[in-house]
Structure 1
Amino acid sequence: MTDQDYLERKLKSYGTQLNMSVLDGIETLQAVASFDRPVGCRELARFLDLDTTRVNRLLRTLAYAGFVRKTPDRKYTVGPAMHVLAAQSLFASHMVSYAVKPLEELRTYDMVVAMGVLWRDKVTYVYHALPGLSSVEALGRLGYFPATASGVGLSLLSQKEEDEVAHLYQGKEIPGFPDGIDSLHAKLEEIRERGYVRVRTSYQTHLPEGSVTLALNIGEPAHSAIALSGDIPEERTAELVAALRGKAAEIESHIQ
């Protein structure tokens, strides 16, 4: 399926013509937020595979609205309006405020406890606690992370249709899946059948070598996923998945 075929199919599913300028603006804003440093217009255009002149115009518009700001060296980073929007969205959804207590209770297992959301082919962790880390340090500790190299990411990808996953990774290397898209499809089908993820997470350098991640989704359709990572023998899987399911249900009951 070509990019154009995929786009036309998605447009039909919404029953209307989407405003591509708005979508490009949102993608530009998301891209600026994904960098942990100020980024220049040309680099951003390459990252987005968009025309430099168009990206420059979008950045100027976003800067005017306060969502990005220009640094003295003529690069861009997130602006005050972005921080306001982030705070408003967290307040409106109550996702973090209602999730912290159940996530803290999972820390009794002395493992990495995580909660993340998916955008495109990347995961952002809203909570990521290593053993011994405080709750304050666990909030917003990590930025973008490849979805296919994350238990949370694989869990959330498993709810997407096969053609959408194929479109996300068309022409790209797939972290954690050197054999390509067919091996990723097979893994996602396994996750759908199980109802949870069990995967070795050697790609993640913040975990000990040989660690295993268990993850499952929150919500239907899923809006986030939670995970435990560490030394998890197969015989403990059922116990820990049950614990994750209980906390997922607890979080969802508050934020519906």
Structure 2
Amino acid sequence: MRNPSRRAKAGAQPNQSLIDGITVLQALATSTEPVGCRELARRVDLETTRVNRLLKTLAYLGIAHQTSDRKYRPGSGMTVLAAQSLFASGLLRRALPALEGLRRFGHTVAMGVLWRDNVSYLFHAPPNMPETDALGRIGLYPATRGGIGMALLAAQDDLEVEETYAEHEIPGYSSLQELLTSLAAVRSAGFVRLRVKDEQEQHTVAITIGTPVYAAIGLSGWIPSAAMPEMLEALHEAARHIGDSGKERGPELNLSDPALDYRVAV
């Protein structure tokens, strides 16, 4: 995990203490097991003494919890924050009917949001999985490895992408220029078609939601080129439904483009 304090944005006046606190909070939230202060400091590339102070502060607030062996895990306060943010945004609640409708194709249905260079899947449902099991079941996933991540990265300009991946390894790509070329193809096509399993000829097809973009949805499975028009029509209809049901909370969508080209974008 990279320290976001090393990425300056034009016009920003970042508070370094807040940045470091959120970095530690996010690292703790994504840890599958209790983690010690030194290990967490190594993961986020911060001084151990600073991470120790931040963890103690989070524990004081109830957002972190210190175990008997002096390690840390998420506390009840983190669960409360997650529940409050999901309730306030309403995104998952209003998206569920549309996502359930997409399951008629018998493919994996997913919706995710971008967090730096990773995707957080709010919904990920393979065929026949109950809806309740599909909620938040996957942790962070490299954005460049999946169709939803590529759709979300393509919604950014090249400078933002360069800032994210500058001087760092890019999963699935040998260079930054190779990634930028792929993202340009996604922007040109208006969607992602990404081969995810060579031996089974499986693809992910994904599009973004919102203007400005705030999430992406996709289908993954055996999707031949001949099936692309139907799949894209269904995805755009789902995206419109999700956007329309939340217009009172955010901007309108602009997804109706009759000139969509059903070429392979990636």
| TM-score (normalised: structure 1) | 0.90
1:187 to 168, 182, 186: 182
Q: Deviations over 1:184-209 (max 9, x none)?
A: 11111111111111111239xxxx84
Is 1:85 matched with 2:76?
Answer: no
Aligned residues: 244
Give me the whole-angstrom Cα distance separating, in 2, the residues matched to 1:223 and 1:4: 23
- Residue matched to 1:196: 191
Aligned equivalent of 2:206, options 215, 220, 228: 215
1:51, CA displacement in angstroms?
1.3
Which residue does 2:233 correspond to in 1?
Answer: 242
- Tell me: CA distance 1:50–1:227, structure 2 relative to 1, closer, same or farther (3 Å): same
Ranges in structure 2 where 5+ consecutive residues have no aligned partner: 251-266
Shift of 1:52: 1.3
> What is the CA–CA distance in structure 1 between the aligned matches of 2:168 and 2:176, rounded to whole Å?
9
Paired with 2:103 and 2:112, the residues of 1 have a C-alpha distance of 16
- 1:44-83, aligned counterparts within 5 Å? 44-83=40-79
Aligned partner of residue 239 in structure 2, secondary structure: helix
Could you tell me how far 1:115 is from its partner in structure 2? 0.4
The verdict on how the C-alpha distance between 1:174 and 1:5 changes in structure 2, with shifts beyond 3 A counting, is closer
Please tell me whether the aligned partners of residues 40 and 51 of structure 2 are also in contact (alpha carbons under 8 angstroms).
Answer: yes
Aligned to 1:95: 91
Measure, in 1, the Cα distance between the counterparts of 2:165 and 2:56.
Answer: 30
SS at match of 2:168: coil
1:162-213 deviation per Cα after TM superposition (whole angstroms, max 9, x unaligned): 2221222223221121x2211111111111111111111239xxxx843100
Of residues 225-234 and 194-203 in structure 1, the stretch that sits farther from structure 2 once superposed is 194-203
Which one-letter code corresponds to 2:194 in the other structure? V
Summarize the alignment of residues 73-222 of structure 1 with structure 2, pairs less than 5 Å apart: 73-177=69-173, 179-202=174-197, 209-222=200-213
Does the CA contact (< 8 Å) of 2:5 and 2:16 recur in 1?
no
Alignment deviations for residues 26-80 of structure 1 (CA, whole Å, 9 cap, x no partner): 1111111111111221121121111111111111111111111112221111111
Q: Distance in 1 between matches of 2:160 and 2:153?
A: 9
Q: 2:256 — aligned with what? A: none
Measured on the aligned residues, the alpha-carbon RMSD in Å equals 1.8
Amino acid at match of 1:250: H
2:197 partner SS:
coil
Identical-residue share of aligned pairs (%): 47
The DSSP-based 3-state class of the residue aligned with 2:84 is: helix
Aligned amino acid, residue 217 of structure 2: I
In 1: Cα distance, 2:167 partner to 2:212 partner: 28
Distance 1:100 1:150, change over 3 A: same
> Residues 103 and 55 (structure 1 numbering): CA distance in 2 closer, same or farther, change over 3 Å?
same
Match of 2:253?
none
Give the SS at the match of 1:243: helix
SS of equivalent to 1:97: helix
Say if 1:138 and 1:82 are closer, same or farther in 2 by CA, change over 3 A. Answer: same
**Take 2:158 and 2:123, find their aligned partners in 1: how far apart are those partners?**
28
TM-score scaled to structure 2, two decimals? Answer: 0.87
Question: Which one of the candidate residues 27, 32, 50 is aligned to 2:28?
Answer: 32
| Cα distance, 1:4–1:153 mapped onto 2, change above 3 Å | closer
CA distance, structure 2, for counterparts of residue 154 and residue 228 of structure 1: 14
Taking a change above 3 Å as real, the CA distance of residues 60 and 4 of structure 1, as seen in their structure-2 partners, is closer
Aligned to 2:264: none
Partners of 2:155 and 2:187 within 8 A in 1:
yes
